[in-house]
Structure 1
Amino acid sequence: MSTPETPTETAPTPEQVRRLPKVSLHDHLDGGLRPSTIVEIAAANGHALPTTDPEELGVWFRDAADSGSLVRYLETFDHTIAVMQDAESLARVATEAVLDLATDGVVYGELRYAPEQHLQRGLSLDEVVVAVEEGMRRGEQLAAQAGTPIRVGTLVTAMRHADRGLEIAELALRHRDAGVVGFDIAGAEIGFPPSNHLAAFDRLHAENFPVTIHAGEAFGLPSIADALHTCGAERIGHGVRIVEDIEFGEGRDRFGMPAATLGRLATWVRDRGIVLELCPSSNVQTGAATSVAEHPITALKDLGFSISVNTDNRLMSGTSLSREFSLLVDEAGWDLADVERATITALSASFLPFPDRLALASDVIRPAYAPA
């Protein structure tokens, strides 16, 4: 007999998707705050907001981000970062983020943020990281007590337009045994190639520390190639514009794959199983895709690319990981097997140690997707 936790129909319902265990790889801490928390902290520190009504503020963030421009999208972070400038607020935001993911059925998540953006009120880089990690661990404890256990790792991010990559890399290494599991660069892509931070990546590789890089969202194939071949990224944040190296034909081949001719970079990414951290709703907002239905994620999945589904910024997109999967089910024809495959792909590409990945897959994820 089936249960609400174990969907048996080909296309799972939104409630079934919410109950299923999921893995989140690309989620910005400063893009997932609760509007009520922003209002409370802003009132305490004197930061002016577009509105002090939490519901209206949530709508404002979504509307402001829904502009089709990555630059305009990034401007919404002025308000979230402004309320993340002291240790107490950072810890609170981190705790709430973990709890929100756990409530959505996420069993492992990687939350990323840029410590250099949280120094306006006198915190040091190390104090920022300590506060966030304390909040993360508190969130894990509260989630376990609520019966929704989750494990969370932190990705320390450097801003690509700044000149602190090596400094932030050293920061990540100092905290690698206290919850920081990887390194990232983020921010405006055009004019700021990943290789500007090559010294940071060389240092991280020398210390056997995992790296993912934002690439192929606002800028195209050269950004992805630079991240992979020059900087040694293990995953690509977004990477949606890899589709520019694919020429699609008509129909499908004898294996059921869409008829397509892949360029050399696309072939490299697919054949080596480089995981793309795709974020459907966010990509539509920033103009990297026209709609969820037409988002390249489905074609890439069908062509054998290693894809994961992510939220990017839950506040700005008014979304959750369950909602992203449900949109793909409703608008792009995904089924339960697609959801499971993307979840296992994300887990396999996570920066968790292999025994922990194996345990999550065997004990939590596979049983939930198995027929009752």
Structure 2
Amino acid sequence: MLSTNSVPVTPEAIRTAPKVLLHDHLDGGLRPATVIDLADACGYRDLPTSDVGELGRWFTEAADSGSLVRYLETFAHTCGVMQSTEALVRVAAECAEDLAADGVVYAEVRYAPELFCENGLSLDTIVEAVQEGFRIGAVKAKEAGRTIRIGTLLCAMRQNARSLEIAELAVRHRDSGVVGFDIAGPEAGFPPTRNLDAFEYLRQQNAHFTIHAGEAFGLPSIWEAIQHCGAERLGHGVRIVDDIKVAGDGSVQLGRLASYVRDRRIPLEMCPSSNVQTGAAPSIAEHPIGLLTKLRFRVTVNTDNRLMSNCLPSTEMAALVDAFGYDWADLRWFTINAMKSAFIGFDERLAIINDVIKPGYAALMG
């Protein structure tokens, strides 16, 4: 029961609430002005426009096609301007600042190092540049009165054959801020089991990993990710709803895979706006996150790509408040779910929950 003194759940108030982000792509979150600056600096000539406002709209409209393949094409431009250490440092620093300004206290930001090698940068140099950017951004955020911690996830592109190499890179840098591994890229035709050697290596190294699964492809992708590969979290996982039957009287029956995911508390890294853009859900109001939240799956709320979806963690939460009538208790639940599911140490997660998240929501709930 919320206090009568609670702060109204408005977009402005949500922005001030402590938030945790588990699924955010570095190359999907650039500021439009930065894309233009970096293109000028490196001689990249393929941008559709050099007007900041128009470019921001172009990214969102191009990503709104309803196709994951078309959506992924927008990354040619962001990756095209991120081929130097200076660009990587700047993009990472601005990412940390932008998330902190939106009230994010802990974020796991992911990217695929293999996408930034076009000008000869080594994989290790790329990781070191991004880590330096996050360090700079966190310092600037602190100077502005905001505290943020960022862990990095390294992605391997599932259509390429470099998963083991990227997994080894993640383990090599795990003491300097790289907290885990992921595979990204097109799901259809590139099942998680193509990367079994990488996942076997990570398990042997006691390393953490999540897997993009159940976004553009259905239950087999989720089943493989969990049962063959050992995924600790599911990137998106939205298609788990295909294993849930809702009868006309409102009663719900979970299939064996959905039951397993819920019983094991496997976190779902849900990205509502992105899922609508790629056709994985028809609208926010019809997004499976509503049912999955009601059934108390381990649901977390994420941005995926802030540039392409024109969103922030606070606007994703605000959209869910509008669609499902969620209150502060619900938003706190999403946030604690995410923090519990982070790839940092148990004591560190507990400290952020008890010292930052719970007091922050208590102040809003009155």
Quickly name the TM-score band, shorter chain normalised: over 0.9
Which is worse superposed, 42-51 or 188-197? 42-51
Equivalent residue number for residue 37 of structure 2 = 40
What does residue range 62-141 of structure 1 map to in structure 2 within 5 Å?
62-141=60-139
Alpha-carbon distance in structure 2 between the residues aligned to 1:173 and 1:84: 23
* 2:16 maps to 1:24: no
Alpha-carbon distance in structure 2 between the residues aligned to 1:120 and 1:14: 40
Assess if the C-alpha contact under 8 Å between 1:292 and 1:332 holds in 2.
Answer: no
For structure 2, list consecutive stretches of 5 or more residues without a partner in the other structure: none
What does residue range 208-227 of structure 1 map to in structure 2 within 5 Å?
208-227=206-225
Equivalent residue number for residue 298 of structure 1 = 290
Residue 240 of structure 2 aligns to a residue whose secondary structure is helix
Deviation sequence 1:143-198 (CA, Å, 0-9, x none): 11111110000000000000000000111111000110000000000000111010
Deviation sequence 1:67-86 (CA, Å, 0-9, x none): 00000000000000001101
Equivalent residue number for residue 50 of structure 1 = 48
Assess if the C-alpha contact under 8 Å between 1:294 and 1:332 holds in 2.
Answer: no
Alpha-carbon distance in structure 2 between the residues aligned to 1:315 and 1:50: 15
| AA matched with 1:42 | A
Residue 23 of structure 2 aligns to a residue whose secondary structure is strand
Equivalent residue number for residue 256 of structure 1 = none
Deviation sequence 1:14-66 (CA, Å, 0-9, x none): 11100000000000000000000000110121212100011110000000000
Residue 315 of structure 1 aligns to a residue whose secondary structure is coil
* 2:269 maps to 1:277: yes
* 2:313 maps to 1:321: yes
How much has 1:336 moved relative to structure 2? Answer: 1.4
How much has 1:332 moved relative to structure 2? Answer: 2.1
How much has 1:250 moved relative to structure 2? Answer: 3.5
How much has 1:7 moved relative to structure 2? Answer: 7.5
Residue 314 of structure 1 aligns to a residue whose secondary structure is coil
Change over 3 Å in CA distance of 1:338–1:62 after alignment to 2: same
Alpha-carbon distance in structure 1 between the residues aligned to 2:163 and 2:130: 20
Residue 156 of structure 1 aligns to a residue whose secondary structure is strand
Alpha-carbon distance in structure 1 between the residues aligned to 2:151 and 2:5: 29
Equivalent residue number for residue 255 of structure 1 = none
Deviation sequence 1:301-324 (CA, Å, 0-9, x none): 101111000000000000000000
| AA matched with 1:39 | I
Residue 215 of structure 2 aligns to a residue whose secondary structure is coil
| AA matched with 1:162 | N
Residue from 304, 307, 313 that aligns with 1:312: 304
Equivalent residue number for residue 241 of structure 1 = 239
4+ long deviations beyond 4 Å? none
Deviation sequence 1:186-226 (CA, Å, 0-9, x none): 00000001110100000000010001000000000000000
Alpha-carbon distance in structure 1 between the residues aligned to 2:254 and 2:211: 22
Residue from 234, 253, 259 that aligns with 1:261: 253
Give the TM-score of the pair, scaled to structure 2.
0.97
Alpha-carbon distance in structure 2 between the residues aligned to 1:14 and 1:249: 35
Number of aligned residue pairs: give it. 362
Alpha-carbon distance in structure 2 between the residues aligned to 1:299 and 1:151: 31
Equivalent residue number for residue 180 of structure 1 = 178
Change over 3 Å in CA distance of 1:343–1:214 after alignment to 2: same
Alpha-carbon distance in structure 1 between the residues aligned to 2:232 and 2:222: 12
Change over 3 Å in CA distance of 1:345–1:7 after alignment to 2: farther
Assess if the C-alpha contact under 8 Å between 1:7 and 1:16 holds in 2.
Answer: no
How much has 1:338 moved relative to structure 2? Answer: 1.1
Root-mean-square deviation (CA, aligned residues, Å) is: 1.4
